[in-house]
Amino acid sequence: MKRNTLYQIFLAISFITYLIIYAPILNIVAQSLDLENFKKAFLHAELMHSLVLSFNISFTTSLLSILFSILICYGLQEQSLQKIKNFRNIFMIPLMFPEIIMGISLLIWFLIIKIDLGYLSLIISHTMLTLPYAVVILTLGLEGFDEKIYEAAKDLGATHNQIFRMITLPMMIPSFAGIFVLSFVLSFDDFLISYFVNGVGNDTLPIKLYSLMRFGITPELKALSVLILLFSLGVSFILFQIQKRIFT
């Protein structure tokens, strides 16, 4: 009885805390329920340019994450469970550093190797950002494989390439889908790293929103924020369903 009471108290405190934190968002949603505001948002040339740019960068980054994941998967198949875990631990190291450190480091490297800041630098930076998350999802998927499947395939005369093409790749499709969705969201929402490497005239949507909000929060900004919120919730739901498919 006492444990149940503590649980209810903790649940109530959590609910109140989240309500206080997200109350401004609910307020923005309430103030944006006007089709005229959404129309103004879509007619705002600078916002639409940044929105299209963010979608292009996020989509390209997601495809590159999938490509690198397939190559990593090819190399890790048939490896022992301990080697897979060690590989994942190495790629988890960048996740421990603040994004601002990564942004400054990438900016310095681009200046050293003379890569112009712009679309290319954003693609490279976002791929570097999403790759560790992709490796985590990939290795968790590989850990669920039964090694006896590989042994049976070898006994039947299958080569490494045939095992990858006919067994590993089809079984990893849910993981690849999760990598694509998560990479897209991480790239689309990124602000800090993009702020350092975007260059002139290549403001992603988060950067453009930040620059416009300094002069006041207009109705069209609120409307666009609501659309982004709905989009993020939809993508999060899709990612949740994919995770259920991977780990069940």
Chunked into runs of 10 residues, the chain (248 residues) has average pLDDT values of 68 80 70 73 84 92 92 81 84 86 91 90 93 88 76 78 82 84 89 89 87 79 79 76 63
CA distances from 147 to 88, 142, 192 (A): 19, 10, 42
Contact by Cβ (8 Å): 118, 57: no
88 and 161, same domain (yes or no): yes
Residues spanned by the domain of 165: 38-247
The CA distance from 209 to 5, in Å, is 44
84 and 132, same domain (yes or no): yes
Domain count, the chain: 2
62 and 82, same domain (yes or no): yes
202 and 126, same domain (yes or no): yes
Per-residue model confidence (pLDDT) at position 2:
55
End-to-end CA distance of the chain: 33
13 and 64, same domain (yes or no): no
Query: CB count, 10 Å around CB of 96?
Result: 7
Per-residue model confidence (pLDDT) at position 74:
82
170 and 200, same domain (yes or no): yes
